[in-house]
Structure 1
Amino acid sequence: MKIFYKAISLLGFFLFSSCAAYLNQPMFQAPSRTGEFSKSTQTLLNLPPAAQPVEVAVYNFSDQTGQYKAVENGSTFSTAVSQGGTTMLIKALEDSGWFIPIERENLNNLSTERNIIRNTKQEYIKNLNPNEPPLPPLLYAGLILEGGVISYDTNIITGGAGARYFGVGGSAKYRQDRITVYLRAVSTSNGEILKTVYVSKTILSQAIDASFFRFVKFQRLLEAETGVTQNEPVQLAMKDAIEKAVHDLIVEGIQKQFWSTQGGKEVNDQLVAEYISEKEKDEATLLLDRFKVGREAQNSLGISGGGNLPDGDYKTQNLGFMGRLEYNRYFGHFFNASLAGTALRLDNGKQYDNIFGSVDLNGQFALLPNDKLSPFVYAGPGMIIDIVKPEGKFIRFGETYFKIQYGVGLQYFVSNKVGIKLFGEQNIVFSDELDGIVNGKRDDFYYNIGLGLNYYFKL
């Protein structure tokens, strides 16, 4: 019975972890509803009003990927993304309030209808009303908006986790796709491409399931399973990317002084400053939402403190202190050489307690050198010196021992000049006399763990 309760608890955990989807399962037909907003719709609607809306024409904003939906046994004749890009773009232009969209996608239909109206008016004028006004001319556009969906990448990130124990288990999986659009504004007076913007949007799919399989009695089997899958609509992601592209085109047009808000220069400058800040953050974000940091400094000074744990011949091993000063010289983005001086205390309780100093020369390799959070590994030779302080006399140096050290660490860059680092290392001494006693065949070791700051600068 206890196993049954555990199974129910585990199933409940998986259900409530995705309860928004699981507890709102569709059971009945739903009526039509107004289309939902994307993540960028409200941002587009919140733009300040334009000083003078611009007439724009959109002939075609189409799917340029040529991709079809992938299925397990090949592909279908259904396209991977919506073919209604022009309609979405016109809606976004209308919602922004900055443009007056002009019908150009089905210009033949418009021209045919105008010819019918014109012929009808001519007959009406000739036979009934000579004063009937003529058909007004078509609006013409100052800008043509071109572009399209240029990329739809699937499975750019996939992953998941799962576990099963004694017939009870569950798993969670996810997948990310990405859609990319380009939008450009072309002047109808001379054909100049005034501005081009590029926007990408990720599309998330998630699946969570749980199962229970157990013999509860002789010839009595209990089996249960449940799960939920959630897929972000591709159409909504495409709408989001197009609306973001329209927003960016408007702000970059303000920056180039092609148009302006009703509020004038003050509102323009504020809008452009916010956009530039957001754009710099977007351009510095890498895959998996890793934040890129551009660093040009070739030198750094570091200070750190932490603890030391001996691993020698004594059973008692207490945590002592460790302090370090360090200079790093960088050769490219990945590799640097460092020279460090360390003061540390080896504490074996009443059996042995002493202060040492060490000098280390390390080669360090950064695994993700352009990320804000960058792991690194290092190794190199060094030497450790016994610091002796007899009573009533000055500090003097005792025995010197050679060693090697290696370690791993993680550095978080607060800015281009300041980084916070956490590291741990093992020091292997080429002697068994470090703690003043020789016992066994193994040499003495000790470990350092520290937290510190690095300051980066150029000479």
Structure 2
Amino acid sequence: MRALLLAVVSLTLFAGCSARFLQPYHVESPRVAAPRTTVADLLDAVPAPVDPVVVAVYRFRDQTGQYRALENLSTFSTSVTQGATSILMRALEQSGFFVPIEREGLSNLLNERQIISSTRQQYTGPEGEGLGPLPPLLYAGVLLEGGIVGYDSNVLTGGAGARLLGAGGSGQFRQDQVTVYLRAVSVQNGRVLKSVYTTKTLISQKLDGGLFRFVDTDALLETEAGYSTNEPPVLAVTAAIEEAVIALVVEGSRDGLWAFQGPNDSNTQDFLSAYDARAAEDASRDLYDRAPLDASSDGLAVGLSAGIGRIESDYASPGIQPVGAVSLDYPIGNGVSVGVRGEGGLIDVNGTGERFGAGALTLRSRLVPSAQTSPTFTVGLGGLFSPDVPNSPSSYLYATALAGIESRIRPSLGLFLEAGVDYPFYEGLDGLQGSGSVNDNIWVGRGGFVFYTSF
């Protein structure tokens, strides 16, 4: 009963803290121009032109034709916003470099002007004078065309989770990508003056956890909590369009289509330098918006790791024991390296922790060599030693196979997790040589560091 009371109190506190942390239900007031995209400040910093460029946008539309994908449900909701023209007009105005004129609602504009003209012809002013004609419409020398040409779903997906004795949690993520093209066309001759394109990724994440356990003989506790975050597609489209406007300003100025008011001013030079640095960084990223890893200078790699191991023994319910390893690997090309690995620790033999050690020649592969974070796979062959286990041979020929993931947090330092099996080629590691039915494999899970040198 005490356990049940403790579980109920814990669940109540957890639920209360979750509501306080997430706050999903409350009324929000409207916000003006919020939230801003990450590109909005850069758009505000666009230097002033010699003469603002008058541009016309008839329709900047969604050209993907994609509908939003939902599991077990058909929907006619589009993947991206259909109001991209309004977003582009706002970005052009915000830059201060362009003067956008209304063309999407041109029929409405012409109708209203026709009403005004007819009214002026029928009526006179307060003193009987005639009302003059309307001033002419402003026309553009540059026409902006293009649209949202791509929305790629599930470009990158993944997740991880664990559950033990009814308690656990999991996390998932998904990355989508939107692509925008924008081109400037000369109204005089129809020539495409400049064409630019930008891409923007969208991240969706989900975390959850739960507990399912008997807290008493007739009492079952079940609880779960979680949350997810989804980057709004309209903000991603807005950021991509704003970046396209900035690119059009810079690239057009360098082609002599228009000019900055103070091309040699420090503000203008800082703006151009920041754009070049950003463009160079973007150009170095791969399809998945990841900076490629330059491993050309990698030499000897030293790995240190620690973790847990569990022998698959003929004794009942062997326990978990600490294990560790050290490795030396030398690259031979394309993410593949050869090396040596030494490992050791304790194994549970009939309730007693007994020492073991092993050494092997290994072949290790980073499956995506150019990625900062890559899956890894290691195989090896060597000798395993268990000097303290009674009635067990002192040495074994064994093979090892490990799968994991490694992330380079610095050019010379990586973090990794790996799990796998040490497989003796004959039975008897637990001291029951010749009488056991299990081959006494050792399952291991480790985490640690890899130090990369240049020699």
- Scaled by the length of structure 2, the TM-score of the pair is 0.64
Per-residue deviation, 1:327:
5.4
Answer yes or no: is the 8 Å Cα contact 1:303–1:452 preserved in 2: yes
Deviation digits for residues 378-402 of structure 1, max 9, x if unmatched?
556799xxxxxxxxxxxxxxxxxx9
Letter in 1 for 2:192: E
Answer yes or no: is the 8 Å Cα contact 2:40–2:239 preserved in 1: no
How do 1:44-63 residues align onto structure 2 when only pairs under 5 Å count? 44-52=42-50, 53-63=52-62
Closer/same/farther in 2, CA of residues 174 and 408 from structure 1, 3 Å limit: closer
Q: Distance in 2 between matches of 1:164 and 1:229?
A: 23
Closer/same/farther in 2, CA of residues 379 and 159 from structure 1, 3 Å limit: closer
Q: Find the counterpart in structure 2 of residue 275 from structure 1.
A: 275
Per-residue deviation, 1:371:
1.0
Q: Which 5+ residue runs of structure 1 have no aligned equivalent? A: 309-318, 347-357, 384-401, 431-439
Per-residue deviation, 1:62:
0.9
Closer/same/farther in 2, CA of residues 68 and 380 from structure 1, 3 Å limit: closer
Answer yes or no: is the 8 Å Cα contact 2:381–2:399 preserved in 1: yes
Q: Secondary structure at the match of 1:76?
A: coil
Q: Distance in 1 between matches of 2:403 and 2:63?
A: 46
Q: Which 5+ residue runs of structure 2 have no aligned equivalent? A: 307-322, 345-358, 384-396, 426-432
Deviation digits for residues 223-256 of structure 1, max 9, x if unmatched?
8877666554433333333223323333443454
Q: Distance in 2 between matches of 1:323 and 1:158?
A: 28
Answer yes or no: is the 8 Å Cα contact 1:48–1:261 preserved in 2: no
Deviation digits for residues 332-390 of structure 1, max 9, x if unmatched?
x34x465x699x999xxxxxxxxxxx996x6542211111244544556799xxxxxxx
How do 1:33-182 residues align onto structure 2 when only pairs under 5 Å count? 33-40=31-38, 42-52=40-50, 53-71=52-70, 74-121=73-120, 129=129, 134-156=133-155, 157=157, 159=159, 161=161, 175-182=174-181
Per-residue deviation, 1:10:
4.7
Q: Distance in 2 between matches of 1:321 and 1:172?
A: 28
Answer yes or no: is the 8 Å Cα contact 2:198–2:241 preserved in 1: no
Closer/same/farther in 2, CA of residues 410 and 73 from structure 1, 3 Å limit: closer
Letter in 2 for 1:268: T
Q: Distance in 1 between matches of 2:261 and 2:290?
A: 38
Answer yes or no: is the 8 Å Cα contact 1:22–1:228 preserved in 2: no
1:329 aligns with 2:318: no
Closer/same/farther in 2, CA of residues 62 and 289 from structure 1, 3 Å limit: closer
Per-residue deviation, 1:101:
0.3
- Scaled by the length of structure 1, the TM-score of the pair is 0.64
Per-residue deviation, 1:409:
8.2
Closer/same/farther in 2, CA of residues 159 and 46 from structure 1, 3 Å limit: same
- CA RMSD of the aligned region, Å? 5.8
Per-residue deviation, 1:2:
3.3
Letter in 2 for 1:234: P
Deviation digits for residues 376-434 of structure 1, max 9, x if unmatched?
44556799xxxxxxxxxxxxxxxxxx998877787666888x6668799999999xxxx
Decide which moves more: 49-58 or 172-181: 172-181
Per-residue deviation, 1:114:
3.2
Q: Distance in 2 between matches of 1:150 and 1:279?
A: 20
Answer yes or no: is the 8 Å Cα contact 1:374–1:411 preserved in 2: yes
Q: Secondary structure at the match of 2:150?
A: strand
Answer yes or no: is the 8 Å Cα contact 1:171–1:210 preserved in 2: no
Answer yes or no: is the 8 Å Cα contact 1:14–1:210 preserved in 2: no
Per-residue deviation, 1:90:
0.5
**One of 296, 299, 302 as aligned partner of 1:301:** 299
Deviation digits for residues 112-140 of structure 1, max 9, x if unmatched?
3334444555666999547x654333222
Q: Distance in 2 between matches of 1:180 and 1:303?
A: 39
Q: Distance in 2 between matches of 1:14 and 1:106?
A: 51
Q: Find the counterpart in structure 2 of residue 368 from structure 1.
A: 368
Closer/same/farther in 2, CA of residues 455 and 185 from structure 1, 3 Å limit: farther
Closer/same/farther in 2, CA of residues 210 and 370 from structure 1, 3 Å limit: same
- State the percentage of identical aligned residues: 34
Per-residue deviation, 1:105:
1.0
Q: Distance in 2 between matches of 1:320 and 1:2?
A: 37
1:3 aligns with 2:4: yes
Q: Distance in 2 between matches of 1:365 and 1:229?
A: 34
Closer/same/farther in 2, CA of residues 253 and 117 from structure 1, 3 Å limit: same
Q: Distance in 1 between matches of 2:223 and 2:413?
A: 51
Per-residue deviation, 1:67:
2.6
Q: Secondary structure at the match of 2:74?
A: strand
Q: Distance in 1 between matches of 2:227 and 2:327?
A: 52
Closer/same/farther in 2, CA of residues 84 and 408 from structure 1, 3 Å limit: closer
Answer yes or no: is the 8 Å Cα contact 2:159–2:170 preserved in 1: no
Closer/same/farther in 2, CA of residues 257 and 43 from structure 1, 3 Å limit: farther
Answer yes or no: is the 8 Å Cα contact 1:174–1:205 preserved in 2: yes
Number of matched residues? 409
Q: Distance in 1 between matches of 2:406 and 2:450?
A: 9
Closer/same/farther in 2, CA of residues 128 and 134 from structure 1, 3 Å limit: same
Q: Secondary structure at the match of 1:267?
A: helix
Q: Which has the larger radius of gyration?
A: 1
